[in-house]
Structure formats: C-alpha cells, structure tokens
Amino acid sequence: MKRKLTSAKKVGGTLSVPGDKSIAHRAALLSILASEPVVAVNYPDNLDCRASLEAARKFGVVIERNRNTVTFTPPSQLELPADIIIDCGNSATTARLLAGLVAGSNLSVILAGDESLSTRPMKRIIDPLREMGAEVFDQDGHLPLKIEGKKLLPFEYRLPVASAQVKSSLILAALASKCSLTLIEDIITRDHTEIMLAHFGEGLSIREIKPMMIPDPHDPRKKRMSVPEDFKKEIKLASHSVVRGGTVDIPGDISTAAFFMSAAAISGGTLTIENLGLNPTRTSVVEHLKNIGCRVEIRDKNILSGEPRGTVTVTGGPLKARKISGDTTAGLIDEIPIVAIMAAFAEGTTIIRDANELKVKECDRLEATAANLRKMGVKCGLLEDGLAIEGGEERNGADFESFGDHRIAMAFSVAALFLDGPSTIDDDSTVAVSCPEFYNLLETFIQ
C-alpha cells in the first residue's frame, strides 16, 4: 500500500524495538533438534520469523505462544512424508539453515520460497553440503531445493565468503548428522548460533586468533607483535554434540534500531533504546554513529542467554563523511541502506566499498539505494562494489520505490522525515518482513 510520508519537526524519546530476528530464527530451528523444550522470550512477530516458526511446526515441533513468549516442544523423533514441501516465504535464513538441518537428517524435503527468495543465491550452501556427502538438487543454484538427507562425513571448511548463514547451515548439518565439523573464518561473522549452542548444548569449542607479543628472533631483548594463524576464528563441533534446550531471552534487534538511531543522528535529537542487543558482531552501526559525529552512551550493560545487551542513547550532531570498506562493510551489511541515508545529510563524500553482497538481497540494494537517493536530489555514484554519496543540505521530497525490500522502504521512510516537501513510499507492507511495527514506532518519537 502506498504511504504518504511527512517531515518531522522534532525527534527524541525512548522506545524498545522487537526481538532480534537472527536470534529468533535460530531458537525456532534449533528446537527441531533439541531434546527438551526451547522457550524464547521476546520472540518477534515478523514475516521472516514466522517462516522459521511454521517450518519448525512442519517438523513436528509443538508451538505455544503467550504474547511475546514462544515455547517450542521438540518431537520425539523426526518423521516427515517424503518430498514434503517447506515454504520459507521470503526468509533466506530459514531456507539456508533448514537446508543444512535436512542434509544431515534422514529426511527428503523440498525447500521453496516466494519469487524474491527464489532469486537469492544458494550455491554458497549447496557446494559445502555436497562436499559433506549430502544430495542436493537445485534450480541453477536457486530454490526450490530438493534435499535427500543422509549420514554426513566429518568436514573441515574455510568459509570463502563472510556469511553467518553458511556457517550456521553447516553447523546444523553436523548436529543433525552427528558428525564432526571444523569451520575457519577469515572475517568474523555473527555468532548467534555459537552462543545459542553454548547456552543450550555441549560439544562446541571456539578459538579466536588474537595478536600476541613474542620474542624478536633477531633481538631476544625485544618483543614484537605476531599473529599465530592466518585466519581469525576456528569453530569446532564434536561428533557427540547435542542440543538440549532451555530459555533464551532475545534482546532488541540492533539492525531494526539502526533506522531509529539514524533519525536521531540526522536530526540532532536524542533517542534512547532500551534492552538493545549489543553482540560485538552486530555493533558496527554504533561505532559508525560515533565515527560520523554522534554522541553515543551505553549503560545498563548485562548478558542474558549469552547475548550482551544494554540501553543505548544516541544524540545527533553535524555529520561527517566516512570511507567504509573491508571488515567495516561486512559488519554494516544490513545497515548500509540507512548508512547511505546518513551520508546524504553529512558533510563531504562517503565512499562505500566491498558491498557486493548487497546485490543479492531481496533486491539489488546498491542500485535501489542509488536510484532513490537521486530522486532526493543527491549526487550518488554506483561503484562496482559500492556507492559514492555526496552529502549536502538541500534535499527534496520524492516518490520512493521500496523495490519489494523492507530495508529500502524503512531507510527512505526515515529520509523523508528530513526532506523539503512531501514524500511517498510505494509499498509500506514490505516492512512486515522484519518489523511490522515500524511506522507505529516511528510515530512515537517524532513530532
């Protein structure tokens, strides 16, 4: 549905955002393999997480919901009709993680999705699953996938792309098949799966590679910094690993909060978000806000269910341009559309590189972001792997396209708050993929 977007006079206040989508997916899907119930507190009610919830139900998990708490009672054994079709909707996380789980089971399952999900790349999971011994039949590297589960081989794999979904898919495959697994990461990605496994089960070990001081071989009186390995993280899963169950308290989703914090950043106002997830693999957006000129205060820090959280207050100010590349881009990958919006209101030219991953999301987010920025009157260059955005003060309202992508719709709805003249978004329903409450939350702290 087309929505009219109006300018804001003032931004500020306090709010809470729905539970973290990434953690919720994993609670639902790991419950399929659990031996005891999994209770997820603050489980979000968005379309993506519903896809994982309904998939778990298809696998025999009994699901009870009491407001925002969901109890998943696992089946005594996995039994499904041959070639049953599981609809993953628009959720790539559901599809990729389930592909691993099925590959390591004794089931035959067809994973399908909507038109958008059916264009997303699946080869990144298909190839390693086949190397483990799985039978996967694909449509030129896309959904639908037919997976014939079987006993998999012990496996060691160095991730060629920074992807928490690939990592988690292989972990679920090994768990389902009870085979050993070693994963090597050159770029550290979201570790919600590892945290939840440590919280719920046993058999997982992690080694993070950190620089250390060693004697200088040329002068034993001195020391020098050395990195003992050429990778950053090693994850090992023993063949006897198990998922028991328990309670997971899900913090607020920082990727959703990024849109609201960015509104404060652009306006110069102050916004506080309570119970916000502060997993170090997800806080690049907080560091980015500091780097471009915002004041960020974090208090009430604590850890529940292995996941750090706290209260974050962002106060905006004059924003400045920043070059974004490498590990920083990887850490900001979900937030790049709203980072681009902040760049449009910053002084100077922001360069974003190493963002090819955005070309294969719900839409090509680089092209979509560039097209909408130009409608605002922003000079935006589309690079081979990113964007070049020239900031400025005079920005005009426009009729924005969502391109069927929730993060594009949310980003340009925030932009519209600070534009001269009215704006519209062509389809506001896309936000339901990650945050159906988005526009209601937006109205709570703008005037």
Delimit the domains of the chain by residue range.
3-18+252-444, 21-212+219-249
Q: Given CA atoms 248, 193, 63, 407 in this order, what sign does their dihedral have? A: positive
| Contacting residues for 384 by C-beta, under 8 A, at least 6 apart | none
| β-pairing verdict for 307-315 and 270-277 | antiparallel
Q: What angle do CA 189, 191, 194 make, to 5 degrees?
A: 140
Pick the CATH number of 21-212+219-249 from 3.65.10.10, 3.20.20.70, 3.90.220.20, 3.30.470.20: 3.65.10.10
Tell me the whole-structure pTM to 2 decimals. 0.95
HSE value, Cβ hemisphere, 13 Å, CA-based, for 98: 33
Task: Evaluate whether 158 touches 184 at the Cβ level (below 8 Å).
Answer: yes
| pLDDT at res. 130 | 97
| pLDDT at res. 445 | 87
| pLDDT at res. 395 | 92
Compute the distance between CA of residue 165 and CA of residue 144 in angstroms, rounded to an integer: 17
Catalytic residues: 334
Report the top-level CATH class of 3-18+252-444: alpha beta
Backbone angles phi, psi at 36, to 5 degrees: -135, 165
Per residue, what are the HEC states of the chain? CCEEECCCCCEEEEECCCECHHHHHHHHHHCCCCCCCEEEECCCCCHHHHHHHHHHHHCCCEEEEECCEEEEECCCCCCCCCCEEEECCCCHHHHHHHHHHHHCCCCEEEEECCCCHHHCCCHHHHHHHHHCCCEEECCCCCCCEEEECCCCCCEEEECCCCCHHHHHHHHHHHHHHCCCEEEEECCCCCCHHHHHHHHHEEEEEEEECCCEEEEECCEEEEEEEECCCCCCEEEEEEEEEEECCEEEECCECHHHHHHHHHHHHHHCCEEEEEEEECCCCCCHHHHHHHHCCCEEEEEEEEEECCEEEEEEEEECCCCECCEECHHHHHHCCCCHHHHHHHHHCCECEEEECCCHHHHHCCCCHHHHHHHHHHHHCCEEEECCCCEEEECCCCCECCEECCCCCHHHHHHHHHHHCCCECCEEECCHHHHHHCCCCHHHHHHHCEC
| pLDDT at res. 226 | 67
Compute the distance between CA of residue 303 and CA of residue 284 in angstroms, rounded to an integer: 19
Structure tokens at 123: 């080869």
Compute the distance between CA of residue 419 and CA of residue 396 in angstroms, rounded to an integer: 5
Structure tokens at 162: 């920074």
pLDDT (tens place) for every residue of the chain, 447 residues total: 999 998 998 899 999 999 999 999 999 999 999 999 999 999 999 999 999 999 999 999 999 999 999 999 999 999 999 999 999 999 999 999 999 999 999 999 999 999 999 999 999 999 999 999 999 999 999 999 999 999 999 999 999 999 999 999 999 999 999 999 999 999 999 999 999 999 999 999 999 888 767 677 777 777 777 677 788 999 999 999 999 999 999 999 999 999 999 999 999 999 999 999 999 999 999 999 999 999 999 999 999 999 999 999 999 999 999 999 999 999 999 999 999 999 999 999 999 999 999 999 999 999 999 999 999 999 999 999 999 999 987 899 999 999 999 999 999 999 999 999 999 999 999 999 999 999 999 999 887
* Fold matches, 3-18+252-444 and 21-212+219-249: yes
CA distances from 270 to 14, 199, 240, 296 (A): 9, 35, 50, 10
| pLDDT at res. 393 | 75
